[in-house]
């Protein structure tokens, strides 16, 4: 029948090498610290040449000092020209882009009555608009290469369940989930897979501030997480690496909750 896709078996991929990113280039936004830094480290450990786009270099110098192939390009993800500059720098240095990780995000909280237009617009500018145009710019370069690629967006458990004082943040991360599915559909014909990761409570520098950690303990949040602990940033990074790897070669348009079972507690 005309237009019917033909079946073509892919060659079997032996396990050895499925997590080998040697010769690949991964671009990570917001990789100066926290989850982004852990993602940059994980890809570099897997052999990738990593380019981090962040306002500040943060701790990326520590990775380079360890002999990992990680470089920093100053980037404000809300400025499209700077995102293009980040990708151009990666292309100039390494000749290709295989993985793009949309990690940069902000996490300010306000009660509903205190949210104004500027607060809402800033949240969406960083957490949603920048992700779309970053994915758009990266996918254009991947399509030109003609060898597919992988895009991973960082959403949040807050995109799945409401949290007090999180209305704007929850909305921005819910938008990331919808955007991921649509991008996956649009880019699939080009062999570009698009997925998202939704971390739960994670031991980032911000969440480990004494006053915030005390609030978490006092609120009983940890009691609602079946594994009874926060995630370590490397656990989120490992999930991102999996989704970008050939181990997930038939996975696109999906979201992986990495929350220690927190979502199971309900809303």
**For the residues of 170-214, what is the DSSP string, one character each?**
HHHHHHHHHHHHHHHHHHGGGTEEEEEEEE-SB--TTTTSHHHHH
**What is the Cα–Cα distance from 14 to 46, expressed in whole angstroms?**
17
12: annotated active-site residue: no
| Under 8 Å between Cβ of 46 and 21 | yes
Burial 138-171 (b: 16+ CB within 10 A, else e): bbebbbeeeeebbbbbbbbbbbbbeeeebbbbbb
Task: Choose, from 12, 107, 169, 250, the residue flagged as catalytic.
Answer: 169
213 token code pair = 């950690």
**What is the Cα–Cα distance from 128 to 171, expressed in whole angstroms?**
10
Q: Is 85 exposed, middle or buried (0-12, 13-18, 19+ CB in 10 A)?
A: middle
Give, as one character, the DSSP assignment of residue 258: E
153 token code pair = 């967006």
**What is the Cα–Cα distance from 98 to 241, expressed in whole angstroms?**
12
**What is the Cα–Cα distance from 206 to 212, expressed in whole angstroms?**
8
In the beta sheet, which residues pair with residue 209? none
SS3 92: helix
| Under 8 Å between Cβ of 154 and 199 | yes
Smallest CA-to-CA distance from 69 within 95, 90, 48 is with 48
Give the residue numbers marked as catalytic. Answer: 169
């Amino acid at each position: 029948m005309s237009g019917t896709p033909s079946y073509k078996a892919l060659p079997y991929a032996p396990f050895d090498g499925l997590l080998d990113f040697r010769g690949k280039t991964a671009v990570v936004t917001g990789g100066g610290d926290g989850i982004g830094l852990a993602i940059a480290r994980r890809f570099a450990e897997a052999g990738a040449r990593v380019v981090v786009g962040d306002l500040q270099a943060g701790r990326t110098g520590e990775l380079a000092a360890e002999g990992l192939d990680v470089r920093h390009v100053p980037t404000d993800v809300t400025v499209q020209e700077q995102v293009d500059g980040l990708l151009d720098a990666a292309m100039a240095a390494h000749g290709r882009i295989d993985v793009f990780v949309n990690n940069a995000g902000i996490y300010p909280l306000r009660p509903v009555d205190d949210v104004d237009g500027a607060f809402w617009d800033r949240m969406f500018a960083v957490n949603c608009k920048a992700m779309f145009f970053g994915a758009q710019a990266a996918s254009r370069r991947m399509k030109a290469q003609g060898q597919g690629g992988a895009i991973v967006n960082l959403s949040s458990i807050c995109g799945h369940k409401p949290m007090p004082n999180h209305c704007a943040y929850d909305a921005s991360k819910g938008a990331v989930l919808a955007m991921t599915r649509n991008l996956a559909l649009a880019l699939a014909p080009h062999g570009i897979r698009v997925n998202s990761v939704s971390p739960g409570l994670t031991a980032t520098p911000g969440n480990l501030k004494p006053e915030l950690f005390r609030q978490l303990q006092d609120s009983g949040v940890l009691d609602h997480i079946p594994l009874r602990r926060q995630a370590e940033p490397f656990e989120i990074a490992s999930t991102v690496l999996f989704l970008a790897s050939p181990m997930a070669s038939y996975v696109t348009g999906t979201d992986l909750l990495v929350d220690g079972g927190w979502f199971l507690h309900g809303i």
